[in-house]
Amino acid sequence: MRRKAKSRKTALEWFKIKVTASAASVSYRDPGLSRIDPDGDADSVIKIEGTLDRPVLKRATAFMYVFCGATVGDNPGSAIGATTVWQLVIRLPREQFMDLLVIITAQRLVEVDLLLDGLSRGTGKVRSASFYTEPVPYERDEDVDET
């Protein structure tokens, strides 16, 4: 007699990444330079590195690549595993990508919150990605001068 396999519900897990470094790259290649992209290529990528609030596969550091071009309703991204760091790929709609690019350029990004679904061996679906600057003083429960 065969045992019935247990159905496993995928669990949603939150992670916080405290940003330690970020950079952006913008590239454009003329047509005819590459056999891979004979018509030329243009790309913008934001790279974010940070410390995790808890380890994934015994790794305490995360590295994210953020690309432009998603549409609202698309899956925001994926966790793709770990070698020396936990790696994630995120795709944002153009407007949000441009907003994040401004934050990166101003060197104001301090934290990334991620919600993952079905995380197993460092891979899974990113269901939500939020990027934060330092909170305004009122949000930090500091006294606000009313002059």
The 10s digit of each residue's pLDDT in 50-79 is: 999 999 888 999 999 999 988 787 788 899
**pLDDT tens-digit profile of 94-131?**
999 999 999 999 999 999 999 999 888 888 999 999 99
> What are the extents of the domains in the chain?
14-28+39-134
> Which pLDDT value is given to residue 61?
95
Q: Residue 16 in 3-state DSSP?
A: strand
The amino acid at 107: Q
> Which pLDDT value is given to residue 50?
97
pLDDT reading at 45 higher than 80: yes
pLDDT reading at 135 higher than 90: no
Q: Which ranges of 20-146 would DSSP assign to H, the alpha helix?
A: 94-105
Percent with pLDDT over 90 in the chain: 53
> Which pLDDT value is given to residue 140?
62
Residue with tokens 């460092």: 122
Q: Is 137 left (phi over 0), alpha (psi -120 to 50) or beta?
A: alpha
Integer CA distances (angstroms), 95 to 21, 49, 54, in order: 22, 22, 31
Higher local confidence (pLDDT), 147 or 138: 138
Residue with tokens 């919600």: 115
> Which pLDDT value is given to residue 34?
72
Cα–Cα distance measured from residue 76 to residue 136, given in angstroms and rounded to the nearest whole number: 27
